[in-house]
Structures are given as C-alpha cells and as structure tokens.
Amino acid sequence: MENVVLIVHLILALSLIAVVLLQRSEGGGLGMGGGGGGAVSGRAAATALGKLTWLLAIAFICTSITLTIFAAENAAGTSVIDRLGTAPASDDETLTPSLPSDDSLLPPGPEGSEPLVPSAD
C-alpha cells in the first residue's frame, strides 16, 4: 500500500510541475515587466489550469500526510542513540567530557609504527 501511495505521490509531483509551467505568467514576478493591472488590481478569473493546480496541490498534500503516517507507523520505538548502542551520558559526564586515553584517534606514524603526537610547542 505504501508503494502505491508513493507512486501516486511522484506522479502528482510531476503533474503539478507540468501544470505550473504551462500556466501563463501574470508578469510582475521578481519585478520584471508587465503593468500593475493583472494580479494586483482584483481577483483574477480562475482558469482551468488554475483549478487543476489547486486540485493537484491538495492531492499532493494528502499523499504527503499519508506517507508521513506510514513512516510513523513503521518507525522503531527507540531513539537513534539506542540504535547505536551507546548509553546516554550521565550529568557528570556532560559537564566534563572525557576523551579516549589511547592514541587510536591519531594518524599513523611514518611507517605505521606509532601514531604522530602533536608537539606542545
């Protein structure tokens, strides 16, 4: 069921893009060209493409909400930290974080023998 809604969602997105691109520009967008009469003076007549745009937009929002509900139902009840296997830090550790004591985070030395330790100069 989720795959069907996802396919319908993608078709709606492509259709919405196509319908918006087919509509006539009313001018004045980004301050380019056109007089002040079209969109500013009053309510523009609703065209068939305008109504179709609204219909597709409402259907797109409905499928978006449906996909969100599906994703919430399939989500695990644990947090991301629990999935990583690390326990949350206690209050003392959050105030003074501790670094690993070994040099495992340092890059290897010239021949892979020992890690490079930054100088304290």
Per-residue HEC secondary structure of 71-110 comes to: HHHHCCCCCHHHHHCCCCCCHHHHHCCCCCCCCCCCCECC
For the segment 100-115, what is each residue's pLDDT rounded down to a tens digit? 556 566 666 566 555 5
> Tokens in use for 14?
């492509």
Please answer whether residues 9 and 64 qualify as being in contact, where contact means their C-beta atoms are separated by less than 8 angstroms.
Answer: yes
| pTM score over 0.85 | no
Cβ neighbour number for residue 50 with a 10 Å cutoff: 13
For the segment 61-96, what is each residue's pLDDT rounded down to a tens digit? 999 999 999 988 887 677 777 767 665 555 555 555
Cβ neighbour number for residue 93 with a 10 Å cutoff: 10
